[in-house]
């Protein structure tokens, strides 16, 4: 989390990118609160979740829908782990995750880490401009939420169970 916070401090997550930060344990959460890491991540636009497993297991918050793309700093990756089996999940370091959050593109972080602040911001601007408009996971999942609400209104509650 500290690596990502160093990259993101003073900057904002790219439009159409959802950055979720879930500390691995209560101890890590408390330490990140004390040293300002969570404040820096939140100020950059990250959503901070409670510590423990959740999105990495596809259980709470951050569950992926079909066709969504996720870059995770978790240590496991297999089809359907974080939600839909039709989602694409990549694993990377906190530096890769921070650059992806800023640019919307999974990229080699080394040019960014070696750049001055001005060069860094110019690299981010170029990558954002070159990124196709796919929309954020949260904006696409909003369409699915509306579909479920409409179905519920017509026929009562709807429950989906994915195998």
pLDDT at 75: 75
Is residue 162 in a domain?
no
Beta bridge partner(s), residue 90: 71
pLDDT, average across residues 117-134: 88
129 has a pLDDT exceeding 80: yes
pTM attached to this predicted model:
0.74
Tally of domains in the chain: 1
Q: Which of 13, 158, 108 is nearest to 21 (CA)?
A: 13
Split at pLDDT 50, 70, 90, the class of 73 is confident
Q: Hey, is 144 helix, strand or coil?
A: helix
Beta strand 47-48 with 20-21 is parallel
Return all residues near 77 (Cβ < 8 A) that are at least 6 apart.
89, 90, 91
Residue 132, domain extent:
2-155
Give the domain CATH number at 123. 3.30.499.10
Task: Count CB neighbours of 160 within 10 A.
Answer: 6
H-helix segments, 2-158: 2-8, 26-34, 37-43, 94-103, 110-113, 117-130, 137-155
Is residue 163 in a domain?
no
Is residue 109 in a domain?
yes
Q: Which residue has the higher pLDDT, 160 or 19?
A: 19
Is residue 141 in a domain?
yes
Is residue 161 in a domain?
no
pLDDT, average across residues 32-40: 95
């Amino acid at each position: 989390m500290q690596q990502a916070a160093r990259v993101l401090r003073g900057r904002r997550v790219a439009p159409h990118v959802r950055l979720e930060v879930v500390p691995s344990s209560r101890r890590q959460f408390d330490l990140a609160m004390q040293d300002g890491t969570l404040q820096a991540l939140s100020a950059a636009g990250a959503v901070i979740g409670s510590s423990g497993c959740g999105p990495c297991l596809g259980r709470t918050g951050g569950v992926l829908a079909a066709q969504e793309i996720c870059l995770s700093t978790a240590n496991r990756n297999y089809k359907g782990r974080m939600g839909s089996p039709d989602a694409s999940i990549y694993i990377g370091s906190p530096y890769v995750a921070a650059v992806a959050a800023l640019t919307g593109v999974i990229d080699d972080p080394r040019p960014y880490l070696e750049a001055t602040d001005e060069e860094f911001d110019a690299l981010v601007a170029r990558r954002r401009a070159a990124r196709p408009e796919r929309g954020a996971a949260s904006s696409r999942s909003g369409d699915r939420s509306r579909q479920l609400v409409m179905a519920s209104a017509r026929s009562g509650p709807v429950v989906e169970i994915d195998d």
